Chain A
Amino acid sequence: MLEIKDLNVSYGSRKILEDINISTEKGEFLGILGPNGSGKTTLVKAITKVLKPESGDITFNGRSIKHMSGTEIARHIAVVSQVISINFEFAVKDIVMMGRTPYIKSNESPEDFDIVEDSMEKTKTDFLKDRLVTQLSGGELQRVIIARALAQQTDILLLDEPTSHLDITNQIDILNLVKDESRKGKLVVAVVHDLNLAAYYCDKIALIRDGKLISLGTPAEVLTPETIGKVYNLPVEVVTNEITNSLYVIPKLEPLAHP
């Protein structure tokens, strides 16, 4: 599906990504993890061709993005980034319609309206459709942005820290929604910070540090105390969470005395 081959990206003389190789399959949920400044966002930008790599290649279904136009890429891959606020008074349904940009020639067709409607239903944002985006809460806004990405009707959903600014309920709501999409066949690639949410939701994890791919595999293969200790420079204990049956990472902190 999405293949990253020997990817190298530099800003000037500084290497940001070095020899990254990742391959993915349909219906997979791939988490990209790593400390701040490790090159995760750069990787997202390279995949969407916002940044040009120094060498290496990225392909969708065997076709290199080098030979694809912006419109064509937007038909294959939709990006959800962290949107804190939109300051322009568009109605929610207008924002979702913007997801149809790669398809609209001059005016929206009835089909476009149907797809927008459908995307809003999936993300439970249809009741907001006439509200102004300036009046939404953080969680509502992020769901609207996901509705917009679904309206793009792509095979790949790319999320760059979609939940870092949200409360725990909204984080889980959004990740459940995205997980559903991957079960229905979309490839989901998500930059996630929370190791435990990643352990629960991801089928595969790519762990990056200083621009290099340190580990790639299932959560059980990647989230070991040794690897996490090395990448994050933090001693941790990894246990199995008996409620979710997924791995749980606990930083080894000294107990604080609470008077």
Chain B
Amino acid sequence: MARDGRAVMILLSVLLVAMIASNTAIGSSDISPVDTVKIMVTAITEKLMLGDILHIEKVWSDSQDTIIMNIRLPRVLLGALVGAALATAGCAMQGLLKNPMADPYIIGMSSGAGLGAALAFALMLPLQLLAFVTAAGSIFIVYNISRIGERVPTETLLLAGIAVGFFLSAITSFIIFLSQSPHQIIYWLMGGLWTASWDKVKITFLMILVGIFMLYRQSWNLNVMLLGEEQAQCMGVDIEKVKRSVLIFSSLVTAAAVSVSGIIGFVGLIIPHIMRIIVGPDHRILLPTSTLMGAIFLVFSDTIARTILESTDLPVGVVTAFFGAPFFIYLLRKRRKSIYA
């Protein structure tokens, strides 16, 4: 593992912690950064029953405590989780499909989740559960359409994903068209962290953590497969097993993220590209740094989304693309050559 890769990882980890702490301090009601940190540290020490060791004098009100601990912190943490999940899944999919346009949604996941959400709003069913099931279900269908015996050709996978995606989107559009309150579904499709809660953090945390870890385990195989599937096979890589594993765990983390935040675009597409420019193509470094950068970027974007307009929250998807796209264009121009394939 390259030494500079490790340095980037440490730097990003520190940055992520700083980002989570500082962004929790930002919001419409005025709570100083120092008090924010004190509130969080107190909460943690109480949880761990270390209150006696580290005694912090309480200088804040209960309502401030509630705002930090029950409103802002879960939202920031959920943003970090979703950003991490999307960027990691996007990075793994780009590596697997060897396609620079790949993102976590490329084989139909967003359309699946969108349909689930539309059905949930229309029929008053539990939104998060239904979005998760339809997102994962759409990948299951796409995988089985593409399968020829034990093999799944990646070109077929891409095309089947697009076809199934269009089909499901058509149904979603139909439901929106007939719906009494189409704006609810449309807002959800834009992606946002409005509905963050500790419950959502807890439900998604384990799925995303396990999924990301399982994707890391394929780093080496993904590297070898970049040289071509047949060559990888001759070096002993079980390519169909790698494909299955990457698809399953990308789908798991993406479905978990989408079910709590809607379709947040851009993070899963661009963050891996940015990190590839900075740290190179080795997935052992590229995947973890993408995870960290995805988390940092979404926390940052969501803070802008919830503070930039005084009266209302913007969908975070608007912000990610608005700030991320120009930055990415800058990197592309600066490099002045093809970054991928």
For residues 93 through 112 of chain A, which have their beta carbon under 8 Å from a beta carbon of chain B? 94-95, 98-99, 101-102, 104
CB within 8 Å of B: which of A40-82?
A: 45, 48, 50, 69-75, 77-79, 81
Contact count band on A: 20 to 34
Residue A88 interfacial (CB < 8 Å): yes
Identity of the chain A residue whose Cβ is nearest the Cβ of B227 in the assembled complex: A86
| B234 lies within 8 A of A79 (CB) | yes
Return chain A residues, CB-CB under 8 Å to B282. 90, 94
Q: A48-B233, A50-B233, A101-B220 are in contact. Are A70 and B238 (CB under 8 A)?
A: yes
Q: How far is the CB of A66 from chain B (nearest CB, A)?
A: 15
A25 close to chain B: CB less than 8 A: no
Also in contact, A50 and B341, with CB within 8 A (given A88-B226, A94-B282, A98-B224): no
Task: Determine the chain A residues whose CB is within 8 A of the CB of B326 once the complex forms.
Answer: none
**Docked-complex contact A89 and B281, CB < 8 angstroms:** yes
Contact with A along B218-245 (1 / 0, CB 8 A): 0011011011001101111110000000
A169 on interface, CB distance cutoff 8 Å: no
Q: Which listed residue (A70, A86, A87) contacts B236, Cβ 8 A?
A: A70
B281:A90 contact, CB within 8 angstroms: yes
Q: Measured between alpha carbons, how far is A88 from B220 in the docked complex, in Å? A: 14
Q: A70-B237, A78-B234 are in contact. Are A101 and B224 (CB under 8 A)?
A: yes
**A88-B226, A152-B235 known; 12 other A-B pairs, CB under 8 Å?**
A48-B234, A50-B234, A69-B238, A71-B238, A73-B236, A74-B234, A79-B231, A83-B227, A89-B280, A101-B224, A101-B235, A101-B237
Contacts of A89 in B (CB 8 A): 280-281
Residues of chain B contacted by A90 (CB below 8 angstroms): 223, 226, 280-282
What's the nearest-Cβ distance from chain A to residue B192, in Å? 35
Nearest chain A residue, comparing its CB with the CB of B234: A79
Instruction: Pick 18 A–B contacts, CB within 8 A, sort by A.
Output: A45-B230, A48-B233, A50-B234, A70-B236, A70-B237, A71-B236, A74-B234, A74-B235, A74-B236, A79-B234, A88-B341, A90-B223, A94-B282, A95-B227, A98-B223, A101-B221, A102-B235, A152-B235
CB neighbours (8 Å) of A102 from chain B are 235-236
C-alpha gap A68/B338 in the complex (Å): 40
- B205, chain A: closest CB distance, angstroms: 25
Cross-chain contact A81 with B236 (CB below 8 angstroms): no
As a 0/1 sequence over residues 30 to 62 of chain B, the CB contacts with chain A under 8 angstroms (1 = contact) are 000000000000000000000000000000000
User: Smallest CB–CB gap between A90 and chain B, Å?
Assistant: 6
Which residues in chain A, 102-149, are within 8 Å of chain B measured between CB atoms?
102, 104
Query: Which residues of B lie under 8 Å from residue A45 when comparing CB positions?
Result: 230
Contacting pair A87 B341 (CB below 8 A): yes
Binary interface encoding of chain B residues 292-310 relative to chain A, with 1 for a CB under 8 A from any of its CBs, else 0: 0000000000000000000
- Which residue of chain B has the shortest Cβ distance to A88 in the bound complex? B281
Which of A69, A72, A88, A98 sits near B235, CB closer than 8 Å?
A98
Residue of B nearest to A98 (CB): B224
Residue of B whose beta carbon sits closest to that of A152 = B235
A72 to B340, CA, bound (A): 32
> Chain A residues in contact with chain B, CB under 8 A?
45, 48, 50, 69-75, 77-79, 81, 83, 86-90, 94-95, 98-99, 101-102, 104, 152
B284, closest chain A residue (CB): A107
Residues of B within 8 A of A86 (CB): 227
A73 to B238 alpha-carbon distance, docked (Å): 12
Taking the nearest CB of chain A, how far is it from the CB of B281, in angstroms? 4
* Residue of A whose beta carbon sits closest to that of B1: A107
Tell me how far the C-beta of A165 lies from the nearest C-beta in chain B, rounded to whole angstroms.
16
A152 to B221, CA, bound (A): 15
Give chain B residues whose Cβ lies under 8 Å from the Cβ of A73: 236
Chain B residues contacting A95 (CB-CB under 8 Å) are 227
Residues of A within 8 A of B238 (CB): 69-71
The CA-CA distance from A87 to B338 in the complex, in Å, is 9
How far apart are B101's CB and chain A's nearest CB, in angstroms? 15
- Among B221, B227, B238, B341, residue most surrounded by chain A Cβ atoms (within 10 Å): B227
For A81, the closest partner residue in chain B by CB is: B231
Identity of the chain B residue whose Cβ is nearest the Cβ of A78 in the assembled complex: B234
Q: Which residues of A contact B226 (CB under 8 A)?
A: 88, 90
- Residue among B220, B238, B341 having the largest count of chain A Cβ atoms under 10 Å: B220
- Nearest CB on B from A25, distance (A): 23
Residues of A contacting B236 in the complex (Cβ-Cβ under 8 angstroms): 69-75, 101-102
In the complex, what's the smallest C-beta–C-beta distance from B259 to chain A, in angstroms? 32
**What are the nearest 5 A-B pairs in CB distance?**
A74-B236, A102-B236, A71-B236, A79-B234, A88-B281
Q: Which residues of A contact B230 (CB under 8 A)?
A: 45, 50, 81
How far is B228's CA from A86's CA once the two chains are assembled, in angstroms? 9
Q: How far is the CA of A79 from the CA of B224 in the complex (A)?
A: 14
A104→B226 CA distance, assembly (Å)? 18
Which residues of the other chain, B, contact A81 by a CB distance below 8 angstroms? 230-231
B220 touching A104, Cβ below 8 Å: yes
Q: Chain B contacts of A77 at CB under 8 A? A: 234
Set of chain A residues within 8 Å of B341, measured between Cβ atoms = 87-88
Residues of A within 8 A of B234 (CB): 48, 50, 74, 77-79
Whether A99 pairs with B235 at a CB distance below 8 angstroms is: yes
